[in-house]
Amino acid sequence: MLDDAAALGIDFLIDPMTAPERWASRDEVAKTAERMNRVAALAADRGIRVGYHNHAQEFHHSFDGVSAYETFVAQLEPSVQLELDAYWAAVGGQDVPALVARLGDRLKALHVKDGSTGYDPFKTGEFKPELLGQVVAGTGEVPLAAALDAASSLELAVVEYDHVPGDVFAAIAGSVAFLAERGIR
């Protein structure tokens, strides 16, 4: 995969998801961090950066008051970048702007995704897209403006929906307009 990415000129790869059970113990979190660190070293040899994208499950467990996600981040080499999905972090019970601030310069991409935060399919084990309540950025329960303000080294603001009722292109246009109002292209 790294060879193919290098041949295509891709310089930033994101691990999109790790299974929920990998966040339930310190040992599994450590193994996940070790895997990311190994891949980052291999990728660096090809001029590629790697990062990790969260969902809600990384926040279901904590160790000594620190979420499994932040326990993971603390074990990553500085070269491993982060792509925070603000919606899923909020669903996972996080104060998203405070989390963004704690992640500091490691945070390179932010999923600017909004909606209601009361339904967590990673806890129920049953994914019902219509219950996500995802809406145009800036119109839901996720404090996106404050999260963007807290980001110190953001390179990418990513508009994404897992499910949006109605016209997805109108929703994308609305989210892009939210970013444009904030001076983000």
In the 8-state DSSP scheme, what is residue 129? G
Reference 157, options 165, 167, 166, 147; nearest CA is 147
Residue located via tokens 């403006």: 145
Q: 157 exposed, middle or buried (CB, 10 Å; 0-12, 13-18, 19+)? A: buried
- Please give the residue range of the domain that contains residue 64: 2-181
Query: Which CATH number belongs to the domain containing residue 92 in this structure?
Result: 3.20.20.150
pLDDT in tens, the chain (185 residues): 999 999 999 999 999 999 999 999 999 999 999 999 999 999 999 999 999 999 999 999 999 999 999 999 999 999 999 999 999 999 999 999 999 999 999 999 999 999 999 999 999 999 999 999 999 999 999 999 999 999 999 999 999 999 998 999 999 999 999 999 999 98
pLDDT at 102: 98
Q: What is the tally of structural domains in the chain?
A: 1
Question: Is residue 176 a contact partner of residue 159, using CB atoms and an 8 Å limit?
Answer: yes
Q: Rounded to 5 degrees, what are φ and ψ at 135?
A: -135, 180
